[in-house]
């Protein structure tokens, strides 16, 4: 069986660091599921996300062993633009993802880079705004939005690439409860539409909707009971 995402014996050490951050990780991620990953601060959750996105080894260097496979293809052998079609990531701080003067430009940025035609980009802008409930902010300046609204626009800017795998790396940690609830409901909608959702969070309260839960500690992943 070919999974949207499969991690095989993945180990990684940053170039300037002494020890492995990830140590022989194995994980299979399925479509139509929300997979939660938690673990203490500094345990390597974001590093794992970078490996999935190909940011490691394409941008950050170090010693990488094992494989991250997207539909059976190693990300180390894919171009960053190819990976972006299949996998998208939303970071904790939406300011790292938004840089255009108008919301619609941020949402169009990914598809424009892939040379998708204008009509299709327009359709995706409308669809991404609908999915995040941000229609009325299409022409707003992202800088003038609240933290929660910015995070929803950051999500829309990832959804416009329509990736099969969507990673939320502590995307709820700076949000108030109302905005966090909105993000959880978007995750639920993505799951329903067949996406593989990965929710990385420190706070277990934000992971109640997950189908399976892993804890990253000392470089390895352990599966835990959801209600345990």
Angle of helix 147-159 relative to helix 103-113, nearest 10 degrees? Answer: 30
* Contact stretch for ligand ADP (CB under 6 A) within 14-22, 93-101, 106-114, 117-125: 14-22
By CB under 5 A, residue 46 contacts Mg ion: yes
179 binding Mg ion? (CB under 5 A):
no
Residue 14 contacts which entry, ligand ADP, Mg ion, none (Cβ below 5-8 A, type-dependent):
ligand ADP
List CB contacts of 145: < 8 A, sequence separation 6 or more: 103, 137, 153
**If contact means CB under 5 to 8 A according to the sort of partner, which of ligand ADP, Mg ion, none does residue 47 touch?**
ligand ADP
| Nearer residue to ligand ADP within complex by CB, 41 or 227 | 41
Q: What is the DSSP track for 214-228?
A: EEEETTEEEEE-TT-
Round to whole Å and give the CA distance between 113 and 198: 24
**Binding-site string for ligand ADP from residue 57 to residue 76, where x marks contact by CB under 6 A and - marks none:** ---x----------------
Of 23, 34, 45, 180, the one binding ligand ADP (CB under 6 A) is 45
Q: How many alpha carbons lie under 13 Å from residue 129 in its C-beta half-sphere?
A: 20
Q: Does 3 bind ligand ADP (CB under 6 A)?
A: no
DSSP letter for each residue of 140-191:
S-GGGS-HHHHHHHHHHHHHTT--SEEEEESTTTTS-HHHHHHHHHHHHHHH
CA dist 35 to 5, 99, 217, Å? 11, 29, 16
111 touches which of Mg ion, ligand ADP, none (CB within 5 to 8 A by kind)? none
Residues near Mg ion (CB under 5 A), total: 2
Q: Which does 207 bind (CB under 5 to 8 A by kind): Mg ion, ligand ADP, none?
A: none
Residue 142 CB, nearest approach to ligand ADP (Å): 24
92 binds ligand ADP (CB under 6 A): no
Region near Mg ion per CB under 5 A, out of 16-24, 41-49, 119-127, 213-221: 41-49
- 146: which 2 tokens? 């609240």
User: Interface residues with Mg ion (CB under 5 A)?
Assistant: 45-46
């Amino acid at each position: 069986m070919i999974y949207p995402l499969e991690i095989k014996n993945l180990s990684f050490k940053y170039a300037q660091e002494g020890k492995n951050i990830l140590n022989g990780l194995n994980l299979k991620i399925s479509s139509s599921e929300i997979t939660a990953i938690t673990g203490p601060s500094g345990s390597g959750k974001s590093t794992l996300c970078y490996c999935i996105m190909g940011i490691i080894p394409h941008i950050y260097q170090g010693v990488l062993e094992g494989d991250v496979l997207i539909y059976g293809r190693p990300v180390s052998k894919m171009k960053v633009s190819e990976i972006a079609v299949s996998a998208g990531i939303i970071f904790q701080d939406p300011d790292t993802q938004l840089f255009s003067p108008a919301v619609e430009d941020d949402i169009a940025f990914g598809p424009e880079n892939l040379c998708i035609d204008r009509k299709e980009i327009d359709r995706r802008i409308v669809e991404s705004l609908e999915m995040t409930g941000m229609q009325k902010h299409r022409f707003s300046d992202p800088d003038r939005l609240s933290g929660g609204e910015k995070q929803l626009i950051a999500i829309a800017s990832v959804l416009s690439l329509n990736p099969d795998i969507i990673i939320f790396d502590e995307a709820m940690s700076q949000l108030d409860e109302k905005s966090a609830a909105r993000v959880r409901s978007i995750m639920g909608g993505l799951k329903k539409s067949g996406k593989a959702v990965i929710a990385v969070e420190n706070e277990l309260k934000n992971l109640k909707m997950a189908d399976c839960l892993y804890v990253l500690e000392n470089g390895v992943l352990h599966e835990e009971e959801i209600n345990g």
